[in-house]
């Protein structure tokens, strides 16, 4: 290769189109042109609420106070026939990619990777996100709040980081990576590292998130006022735990004492007055398991009212923070040219159970909570000492006028509010208008691309791209391609639904839908047929009247399923969090499987994880807190923990803790004694060593075992057993807050100390050994006993 050839190669690699001569006098400089979307390009803001039903916002019928969201609706457009998937991670994946959730690897929660292309626990690299494409167009891109689009096993400080927000197109990130977090003591990630929340009086996560969203906008616009931004704000609200500042809780005290029947009737009447539902729409009966309010015991009504108050306070407080965000955009002079979408990720949640819970994790542990027992703790609801979720009756009210809930493919799970606000595009005469076209969350990305003139590439960063399958909604906006966007027929003709075996298909105003029972044969599912163009609440089942139409829709569902990667159908959910032991407990609780089936499931390798059942973990502090699914899989299993310490006299503190003040476990030294606190949803079972922990180097620990009566923990100092405690129940899922080594991050697991209670001696290492139980252990004995009663 000649010198000239090498110089030409150098210029091509560096994209240089000037002239390089022997000296600068004989050369011509050239500067690469940074992408810029144009002077008139709008900012784009997506505000994604969590578990907020169709009727929860004031502008969609509720009596809960949401004045700032209502103002966006009054100055924008409300979509009355907008749909999502029935669960959080899948909706987020569809929203950010413009594809169906199965196609991009997000059949269910990001916490799972089942070994099939439809459930990888992250968005496929073959589906570029809105942030990736807009950043390449010159946008500043910010993600704030809930991510839940990375396998949680990959969400620790060890990574890998390739599916974290800043690796999927966002310049900045501030929020939490998992599906939920405590609003007063959240687990926070800033860009690519974990941080503690600010230590400020009255701290609440939603305020913190909006503070950082405003800060990101100010950082960008102060330095580059010409550069538009894309902000994706995904609040933790209104997902459990329902937690709000005291003044918001006080505002709703007694407001819902008339009950969910009265509220549902009132909210439905408001929806009809607002024109949010077709005139023929009926209010369906209560869902199975929802009781008539006036027929319930007083204690049940008092608990349910207080739980609904906490939800309303949480939503009201969130609305105030959204108002602060909009005000900040206004002060920047950017509101007129900012396109805002506000929506929810799915319908209201059924995860509070029939009666509601102070501790939602009881739902995931198959435990019921007595309203009578909750009476003494009513004032804890909504504050830091509760992890509350409301009962089914209030969830159905939030989904008015629809049936069923989050997770289900009936309208209650998938039909949500959507508000579009854009003063520069929506003239005064059209503001406050309604749009009734059927649309789906996978339509938002193509709408943004169409409005901004972005062309989706066939290959992105070396990955061949899946086709964007959503339908642009641009025609529904004033000045769109339809002659009358408000009345134009929908261009979204077909959309399938599937979530954990629940299925549905929309086509040309008709919908076929089935509610699946986990473990049942799919061919036994009863399909229903509704003309949802007029019967929006799915009250008139036409399956027997039009069997031919139903059969054609069911066949269309299978065709769509094959095209979009839905198969294989998989109805597992909670059991995927914890492997075979939790799977067995799940099956036993449902009465679906005998021991032989559970054993076969255990041996099948279904639960692939970098954490094998008998793994030995070694932790060497100092180190960051660990996400639950990246930590030891101790849930429901026997395990040993040993801490190697070098301790000066009187040194104390936490050696290992996981969870928070609502549920968890902690091993710590205090007053020269080794202490183990098993916090089972606020009931504390403590073991305190009979022996003093010696000064100097020693190994201290705990042996955790299941028993026929529940479980027991034995304290060990230098090999000698020195204390024990039993407990009636072993938590299968402990908390969404993961372990910390050498301190207790967040709120304290034990009431014996204040966080972080860091160990003041030298903690050399912590060893955790998971013990593999045999099939004849207490778990199997309990399963046999339970199965004998089915």
- The model's pLDDT over 20-65, given as tens digits with 9 standing for 90+, comes to 999 999 999 999 888 999 889 999 999 999 999 999 999 999 999 9
Looking at the predicted structure, is the pLDDT value of residue 196 above 50?
yes
Q: In this predicted structure, what is the pLDDT of residue 276?
A: 98
Answer yes or no: is pLDDT of 776 > 50.
no
Residues 51 and 380: beta-carbon distance below 8 Å:
no
pLDDT interval class at 611 (50, 70, 90): low
Cα distances (angstroms) measured from residue 160 to each of 433, 439, 509, 613: 46, 35, 44, 22
Torsion on CA atoms 58, 408, 608, 679, rounded to nearest 10 = 60
d(CA 231, CA 174): 12
Asked whether the predicted pLDDT for residue 449 surpasses 70, the reply is yes
Q: What is the chain's alpha carbon radius of gyration, rounded to the nearest angstrom? A: 28
Q: 787 pLDDT exceeds 60?
A: no
Residue 606 has pLDDT above 60, yes or no: no
Instruction: Dump strand ranges (E) for 628-719.
Output: 639-647, 653-660, 663-670, 673-680, 683-692, 696-707, 710-717
Is residue 300 part of the annotated active site? The answer reads: no
**For 266, how many CA atoms within 13 A lie in the half-sphere containing its CB?**
12
Q: What is the pLDDT of residues 677-703, one digit of tens each?
A: 999 999 999 999 999 999 999 999 999
**Which position has the higher pLDDT, 22 or 615?**
22
pLDDT value at 613 more than 70: no
E-strand ranges in 515-661 read 528-530, 616-619, 639-647, 653-660
CB atoms within 10 A of CB 775: 12
- Say what the pLDDT of residue 364 is: 80
Average pLDDT over the chain reads 92
Q: What is the mean pLDDT of residues 568-576?
A: 89
- Per-residue pLDDT averaged across 508-537, rounded? 97
Per-residue tokens: 525: 């599912």
Determine the Cα angle at 200 with ends 198 and 201, to 5°. Answer: 150
**Model pLDDT, residue 777:** 45
Dist CA 259 CA 294 (whole Å)? 8
Within 8 A by CB and 6+ apart from 259, the residues are 293, 294, 301, 304, 305, 393
Contact 358, 350 (CB under 8 A): no
State residue 486's pLDDT score: 77
pLDDT bin (cut points 50, 70, 90) of residue 636 is: confident
* pLDDT at residue 273, rounded to an integer: 98
**Among 680, 668, 741, which Cα is nearest to 712's?**
680
| Per-residue confidence (pLDDT) for residue 663, from 0 to 100 | 95
> Parallel, antiparallel, or unpaired for β 459-460 and 463-464?
antiparallel
The predicted structure's pLDDT at residue 15: 79
How would you classify the pairing of strands 77-83 and 415-421?
Answer: antiparallel
What pLDDT sits at residue 579?
53
- Distance (Å, whole) CA 297 – CA 290: 13
Residue 741 pLDDT: 98
| pLDDT tens per residue, range 334-359 | 999 999 999 999 999 999 999 999 98
Residue 34: which of 192, 297, 226 has the closest Cα? Answer: 226
How much is the pLDDT for 411?
98
Active site residue 88: yes
C-alpha closest to that of 280 among 81, 507, 530, 533: 533
CA distances from 659 to 182, 432, 473, 746 (A): 11, 45, 43, 9
Identified catalytic residue from 83, 148, 204, 410: 148
Tell me the pairing of strands 140-146 and 229-234: parallel
Please compute the mean of the pLDDT values over residues 400-417 and round it to a whole number.
Answer: 98
Around 406, how many Cα atoms within 13 Å sit in the side-chain half-sphere?
29
Average pLDDT over residues 249-278: 98
pLDDT above 60 for 580: no
Taking the C-alpha atoms of residue 216 and residue 140, their distance in angstroms, rounded to an integer, is 9
State whether residue 459 is helix, strand or coil. Answer: strand
Contact status, residue 594 vs residue 116, Cβ threshold 8 Å? no
CA neighbor of 416 nearest in space, from 772, 42, 88? 88
Tokens of 384: 């830091």
Distance CA 715, CA 719 (A): 9
Q: 174: buried, middle or exposed (CB in 10 Å: 19+, 13-18, 0-12)?
A: buried
Give me the pLDDT at residue 599, please. Answer: 36
Give the active site residue among 56, 83, 88, 122: 88
Residue 652 has pLDDT above 90, yes or no: yes
Cα within 13 Å of Cα(127), Cβ side = 28
- Retrieve residue 487's tokens: 């009345």
Q: What is the pLDDT of residue 262?
A: 98
Biggest alpha carbon distance in the chain?
Answer: 93
Distances (CA, A) of 75 to 63, 228, 385: 20, 22, 39
pLDDT at 626 over 70: yes
Per-residue pLDDT at 163: 98
User: Which among 46, 754, 636 is positioned nearest to 364, based on CA atoms?
Assistant: 636
């Amino acid at each position: 290769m000649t010198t000239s050839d090498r110089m030409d190669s150098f210029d091509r690699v560096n994209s240089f189109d000037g002239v390089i001569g022997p000296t600068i006098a004989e050369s011509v400089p050239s500067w690469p042109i940074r992408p810029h979307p144009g002077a008139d390009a709008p900012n784009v803001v997506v505000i994604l609420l969590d578990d907020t039903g169709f009727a929860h916002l004031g502008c969609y019928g509720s009596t809960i106070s949401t004045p700032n969201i209502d103002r966006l609706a009054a100055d924008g457009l409300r979509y009355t026939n907008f749909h999502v998937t029935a669960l959080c991670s899948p909706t987020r994946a569809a929203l950010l990619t413009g594809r169906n959730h199965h196609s991009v690897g997000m059949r269910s929660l990001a916490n799972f990777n089942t070994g099939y292309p439809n459930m990888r626990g992250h968005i496929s690299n073959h589906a570029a996100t809105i942030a990736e494409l807009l950043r390449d167009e010159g946008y500043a891109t910010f993600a704030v709040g809930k991510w839940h689009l990375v396998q949680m096993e990959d969400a620790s400080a060890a990574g890998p980081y390739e599916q974290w927000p800043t690796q999927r197109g966002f310049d900045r990130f501030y929020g939490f990576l998992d599906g939920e977090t405590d609003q007063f003591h959240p687990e926070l990630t800033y860009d690519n590292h974990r941080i503690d929340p600010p230590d400020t009086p009255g701290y609440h996560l939603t305020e913190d998130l909006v503070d950082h969203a405003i800060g990101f906008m100010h950082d960008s616009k102060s330095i580059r006022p010409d550069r538009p931004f894309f902000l994706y704000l995904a609040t933790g609200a209104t997902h459990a735990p329902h937690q709000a500042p005291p003044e918001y809780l006080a505002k709703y005290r007694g407001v819902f004492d008339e009950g969910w029947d009265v509220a549902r009737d009132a909210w439905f009447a408001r929806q009809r007055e607002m024109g949010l539902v077709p005139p023929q729409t009926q209010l369906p009966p209560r869902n199975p398991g929802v009781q008539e309010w006036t027929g319930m015991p007083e204690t049940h009504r008092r608990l349910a009212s207080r739980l609904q108050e906490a939800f309303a306070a949480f939503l009201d407080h969130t609305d105030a923070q959204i108002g602060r965000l909009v005000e900040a955009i206004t002060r920047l002079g950017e509101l007129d040219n900012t396109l805002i979408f506000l929506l929810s990720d799915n319908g209201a949640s059924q995860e509070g159970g029939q009666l509601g819970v102070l501790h939602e994790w009881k739902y995931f542990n198959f435990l019921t909570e007595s309203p009578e027992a909750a009476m003494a703790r009513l004032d804890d609801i909504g504050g830091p000492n509760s992890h509350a979720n409301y009962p089914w009756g209030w969830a159905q009210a939030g989904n008015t006028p629809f049936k069923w809930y989050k997770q289900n493919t009936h309208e209650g799970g998938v039909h949500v509010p959507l508000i579009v606000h854009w003063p520069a595009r929506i003239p005064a005469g059209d503001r406050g208008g309604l749009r009734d076209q059927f649309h789906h969350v996978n339509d938002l990305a193509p709408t943004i691309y169409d409005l901004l003139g972005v062309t989706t590439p066939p290959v992105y960063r070396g990955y061949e791209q899946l086709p964007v399958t959503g339908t642009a909604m641009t025609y529904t906006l004033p000045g769109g391609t339809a002659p009358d966007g408000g009345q134009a027929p929908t261009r979204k003709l077909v959309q399938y639904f599937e979530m954990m075996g629940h299925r549905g298909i929309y086509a040309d105003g008709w919908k076929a839908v089935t509610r699946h029972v986990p473990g049942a044969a799919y061919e036994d599912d009863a399909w229903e047929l509704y003309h949802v163009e007029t019967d929006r609440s799915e009250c008139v089942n036409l399956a027997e009247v039009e069997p031919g139409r139903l059969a054609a829709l069911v066949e269309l569902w299978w065709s769509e399923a094959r095209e979009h990667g839905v198969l294989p159908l998989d109805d597992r959910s909670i059991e995927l969090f914890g492997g075979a032991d939790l799977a067995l407990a799940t099956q036993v609780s449902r009465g679906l499987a005998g021991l032989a089936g559970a054993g076969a499931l255990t041996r099948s390798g279904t639960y692939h994880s970098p954490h094998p059942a008998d793994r030995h973990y070694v932790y060497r502090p100092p180190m960051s807190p660990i996400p639950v699914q990246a930590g030891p899989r101790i849930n429901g299993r026997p395990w040993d923990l040993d801490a190697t310490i070098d301790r000066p006299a009187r040194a104390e503190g936490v050696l290992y803790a996981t969870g928070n003040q609502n549920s968890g476990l902690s091993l710590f030294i205090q007053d020269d004694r080794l202490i183990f606190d098993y916090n089972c949803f606020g009931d504390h079972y403590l073991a305190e060593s009979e022996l003093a922990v010696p000064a100097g180097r020693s190994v201290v620990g705990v042996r955790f075992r299941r028993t026929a009566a529940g479980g027991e923990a034995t304290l060990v100092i230098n090999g000698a057993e020195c204390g024990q405690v039993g407990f009636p129940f072993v938590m299968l899922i402990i908390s969404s807050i993961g372990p910390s080594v050498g301190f207790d991050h967040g709120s304290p697991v034990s009431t014996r100390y204040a966080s972080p209670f860091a160990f003041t001696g030298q903690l050399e290492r912590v060893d955790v050994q998971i013990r593999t139980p045999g099939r004849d252990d207490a778990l199997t004995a309990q399963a046999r006993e339970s199965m004998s009663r089915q």
